[in-house]
Amino acid sequence: MTSEAELITGCLLHDRIAQRLLYDRYKKAMYTLAYRITGDFDDANDVLQDAFMEVFRHLDQFRGEATLGAWIKQIIVRKSTKKKRIVVWQNVEEDMAESINWGEDDINVAHLETAIFALPDGFRTIFVLAEIEGYTHREIAVMLSISEGTSKSQLFHAKRKLRSMLTSG
């Protein structure tokens, strides 16, 4: 398997095979992320295309502070939130005393997916970034230009809503 460094070198030389390999390596994960944020297959396709065009145009700016996948993911998140004009509300009610119990029984995955897509855009974005993609609240705060507190609060509300939907559904 071609190493990341070899792929990058090939792409910088505008080698179409290297570019195709890079695209194939990341397309599923990035498309899935775009779909989960935008909630729409067509929008996710547009985001994927735009994002990879940006990747190939600006690969020379990739400094290697993170992995290539992480760098591409950031582009996908930015383009997805811009595409849907997602606004994350500051000042959401801060009371997070209520506890959330996911139970011991397995959660039906299809129900979970439906419930995630029923979340309002802002809640869903934070949930996807924190719980599925594993970003810290500090990283999310920087990506979305919000405070860490807002990220935590939004995640709490998203989970509360999800739990409620899974219980009633």
Partner 1 sequence: MKTMKLPDKNPFYNHLNIRTLLFFVLLNGFYSIQAQDVLQVATKTLEKTIGAPAIRTLHINAEKADIELVAWDKSEISIVLKLSSRHSDRTIATTDLAKFQYIADRSGKDYFLRNYILLKEGEAKPTSNLKAHYVIYLPASCAIDLKNTFGTISMKGLTNNLQLKADFCTTSISDLQGKGFLQTTFGELKGNDVSGSFSFSSDHTNLRLERIGGAIKMDAVYGNVEIYPSPGLTSLAIQSKKTVVTLLAKNWQQFDYTINGAYTVMKLPNGFKWKRNTADFKDAFFSKNQLTNVQINTEFGNLTIK
Partner 2 sequence: MEYNHNTLQKAILKLPLQEPNENIWEEISQKLDEEPLQNALKNLSEYEPDKRLWELIENKSVIRRHSPVAWWYAAAAILIASSIGLWMLQSNKTQIISYSEEIADSRLQISKEQVADYQYQQLKTYCETETLVCNNKDFKQLTQEYEKLRTASEQLKQAMGKYNTEPQLVRQFSIVEQEKADVLNKMAQMI
Residues that bind partner 2 (CB under 8 A): 14, 16, 19-20, 23-24, 27-29, 31-32, 35, 41, 44-45, 48-49, 52-53, 56-57, 99-109, 112-113, 131-132, 159
Tell which positions 101-160 bind partner 1, by CB under 8 A.
Answer: 118, 120-123, 160
Q: Say if residue 100 is exposed, middle or buried (CB neighbours under 10 Å; 0-12, 13-18, 19+).
A: exposed
| Shortest distance, position 99 Cβ to partner 2, whole Å | 4
Q: Does 40 bind partner 1 (CB under 8 A)?
A: yes
**Measured from the CB atom, is 65 or 93 closer to partner 2?**
93
Do the beta carbons of residue 122 and residue 150 sit within 8 Å?
Answer: no
Do the beta carbons of residue 75 and residue 55 sit within 8 Å?
Answer: yes
Q: Does 91 bind partner 1 (CB under 8 A)?
A: yes
3-state secondary structure of 22: helix
**Measured from the CB atom, is 96 or 118 closer to partner 1?**
118
Q: How far apart are CA 152 and CA 55, in angstroms?
A: 30
158: tokens are 């998203």
| Shortest distance, position 14 Cβ to partner 2, whole Å | 8
| Shortest distance, position 46 Cβ to partner 2, whole Å | 9
* AA identity, residue 143: M
Q: Does 41 bind partner 1 (CB under 8 A)?
A: no
Give Cα separations from 98 to 67, 124, 126, 157 (angstroms).
37, 20, 19, 10
Q: Which residues bind partner 1 (CB under 8 A)?
A: 39-40, 42, 84-85, 87, 89-94, 118, 120-123, 160-161, 164-165
